[in-house]
Amino acid sequence: MQISSVVPKQERYIAIRNVTILSVIANSLLTIIKITFGIIGHSHALIADGIHSFSSLAVDAMILLAAKYSLLPPDNRHPYGYGRYETLVTFAAGLLLIIMAMGLFSESYEYLFGQGQKVAEKPTSIVLIIAFAAVIIKEAIYHYTIYIANRVNSPMLIANAWHHRSDALSSSIVFISVLGSMAGYLWLDAVATIIIAAMIAYIGIEECLPAINKLIDIGIKKEQRVKIEKIVESVSGVHSMHQLRTRKMGINILADMHIMVASRISISEAYKIAEVVRTRLLDEMEEIIDVLVHVKPEDVTNNLNLPQRSEIIPRLQRQHIDAIKKMEQVTLHYLDGKLMLDVDLPLNVIQNNNQARLLSQQFTNFANNDPDIHTINVYYHGTVYGSTQIFPIEELRDFIKYSSPSN
């Protein structure tokens, strides 16, 4: 059964709590009844089955604890929340299944091939009734638990459901062993136990492996990665996405990625694009609870040897260029392993296009003589200083033609 949407955390906790409380009540009663009537009915198998039910009761307690803690919000010590409590309990439940399977196998092997076997007392018919009733009850609880687990998407509950199924199987072993004892085929108990032990071990491994993968931060499935990529690359301004990394926190997903944007857009526009990516992923994939988006301009090649602003500006200011004193903005571009500068000047620093060409040539000479700077582009624009200078129309056309960014 596939869930159609993510169940709210509080509703999910209530569903897990209610089905687990039902399991606690059933396991408590079955533990007492199996052990009591195992003693009365001379059935060591039923007593062992009662201990199995007690182990399920221990798992129920862990699940209630994990369900409660996984609901807690992130804090300073757990910045990503408590979702892995559920994963840890899932692993513990699976491991317990494996241990119980090993115990059942060991006992059965010893019975079949060991030495010094003891002759057991023939069990009474009451053991048959208790074992049959336990199979029905635990199988019913299994189906109910697996239904709730799928509805709220809880691997922890799925693991516990298989605990109920393994308990039903172990009760069926008791039933078969009693019938075999009554018919004189005492070896049926051991053979059936080995078969069921193998089934229980397989279930335990199936539960442990996904939990281990989550604990070691294995990534999400391919189809989920493809969906994330499609959502990200559908955002306007995103040229491509790469270095997508994901991990599971309980049933939730944490993701971080790099997106490529145009190399000369402003920081604020790049931030806007990243926020749209983040918001869209959170809205369209409810299992994602946190997204970290790294913005990388296209054509950027890391070159740690290139100087930063704190070195470049003093170099500019030491040049014998009068217009430098009126620089309004200097923008640094680290593209293709080269440093390029955009220098913004107010329009009133020049009187005509000849001065514009001369000023551009001065900046070009500086760039040619500086080993770190590849290009300087000079831009002129209106300024808040409110220059009253007016260009004749023909002069302005020439100015626009010849004072384009110089290299």
Q: What would the mean pLDDT of 99-108 be, rounded to a whole number? A: 79
pLDDT band for 392, please (50, 70, 90 cuts).
low
List of E strands, 208-367: 240-249, 252-261, 288-297, 329-335, 338-346
Q: What is the pLDDT of residues 158-213, one digit of tens each?
A: 878 887 888 888 788 788 877 887 777 767 766 766 777 787 788 778 878 888 87
Structural domains of the chain sorted by starting position, each given as residue range(s) with its CATH number in brackets: 9-215 (1.20.1510.10), 222-297 (3.30.70.1350), 309-402 (3.30.70.1350)
CA distance 125 to 130: 9
279-294 pLDDT tens trace:
999 999 888 888 999 9
Cross-strand pairs, 364: none
Which residue is listed with tokens 């001369």?
358
Which own/partner pairs from 321-324 qualify as long-range (CB within 8 Å, at least 24 positions apart)?
321/359, 321/362, 321/363, 321/366, 322/349, 323/349, 323/350, 323/359
Average pLDDT over residues 106-129: 69
pLDDT exceeding 90 applies to what percent of the chain? 17
pLDDT at 274: 94
Taking only Cα atoms into account, the Rg of the chain, rounded to an integer number of angstroms, comes to 36
C-alpha 215/C-alpha 250 separation (Å) is: 9
- List the alpha helices (DSSP H) in 4-154: 9-40, 44-69, 84-113, 125-152
| pLDDT single digits (tens) 15-43 | 888 888 898 899 899 989 988 988 888 77
* Whole-number pLDDT of residue 390: 47
Q: Is the pLDDT of residue 388 over 70?
A: no
Q: Which two three-digit tokens encode residue 236? A: 């306007």
Is the whole model's pTM more than 0.85, yes or no?
no
